[in-house]
A = this chain, B = another copy of it.
Amino acid sequence: MTSRQGGGIVETRSVTFSPGTVLTASGACAALPELTVAFETYGTLNAAGDNAILVCHALTGNAHAAGLASPDPRSLGWWDPMIGPGRPLDTDRYCVIASNFLGGCYGTTGPTSLNPRTGTRYGMTFPAYSVRDMVHVQKALLDHLGVTSLVAVIGGSLGGMQVLEWPLCYPAMVRSIIPIATAAQHSAWCIGLNDLTRQAIMMDPAWKNGAYDPSAQPTAGLSLARQIAMVTYRSDISFDRRFRRDVAAAGPDGREQLFEVERYLRYQGEKLVARFDANTYLYITRAMDAHDVAAGRGTLDEVLGSIRVPSLNIGISSDILYPAHEQRAIAAALPRPVYREIDSPDGHDAFLIAYDQLGPFVHGFLKEIP
């Protein structure tokens, strides 16, 4: 693997595993005739294979974490300010690896993939999978790449759930963890919110119990799901600063006069519809809701207490989805925690916005990890 220059074009690559090569908690992968994993790497893996950092993405993310996917400057990776030479995840020092998780719709096998046994898309026949399954698939990818040990596993939101699962699934592989704005057990609050988004998708007649044609997915339902989520990703203060009570130039159908905030949310809904799949959204939110690091392992305190590596736990002051008090509670149960809080009005999304705070937190922590 070769080093990438900051701002260069990065190609998403993929590897396909044959049946049975990937261990999974739920047996999801064993049921698949083949499993392809999409990934990107930034920086160079050393000969010992022990300078890698794994970046885990959130609900609608993908393997394209940094650099440009094409000459289009809008194709920049979703965490580009965090990854590159001299950046917090310093590619002069580390080999940073990002992959689309199991069951995603960005190149890794999931509900939108063709089932080679039937020649049709899996859709709702795709096996249910868990956050642990995502981790097992990432492990297979790391083995394939020659990674022997991870300096750190880092991610926010659903990415942070994978981060917490990593040292529990593969304790010998992980030297530190950085869970950001996440959950050790998905809360009733978040489960309830996720269920609203599922109901929105399934209420759309175009969903057709998941058997929709790829060219005619349930756009209204998926758009509403995204809008429900978007509101919870931000805060009242950030919305009021940005939109106030401004009126949009014109309603999209010409009839209705919308407030600017309504126009913005609908636009965000449409944007997701253009790049994501409704069935995949259902599967991933179910995996999030089932997420519980303690399941089958002991009490929550025992399980978190068994994670012996240093952890950097990052909360966000205005996060209403995975509140700062939840991050402090996770840190308190971990044996070697550092807790840092992003002071921001931008809510949960601050881990994708407040790089001026997030970057130094991560940089300061990583330099102490041997």
Contacts and interface: CB of A to CB of B under 8 A. Distances in A.
Given A192-B231, A228-B228, A236 B187 contact: yes
A172 to B, nearest CB: 29
**Chain A at the B interface: SS class:** helix
Contacts of A231: 189, 192-193, 196
Given A205-B205, A236-B320, A199 B227 contact: yes
A220 B195 CA distance: 14
A243 interface: yes
A90 interface: no
Interface residues of A, number: 42
Contacts of A221: 203
Interface in A203-245: 203-205, 220-221, 224, 227-228, 231, 235-236, 239-240, 242-245
A169 to B, nearest CB: 20
Interface stretch (A41-49, A63-71, A92-100, A257-265): A257-265
Given A199-B220, A203-B203, 9 more contacts: A188-B240, A190-B236, A192-B239, A195-B262, A199-B224, A203-B220, A236-B320, A236-B323, A236-B326
Interface of A: 185-193, 195-196, 199-200, 203-205, 220-221, 224, 227-228, 231, 235-236, 239-240, 242-245, 258-262, 264-265, 289, 292, 320, 323, 326
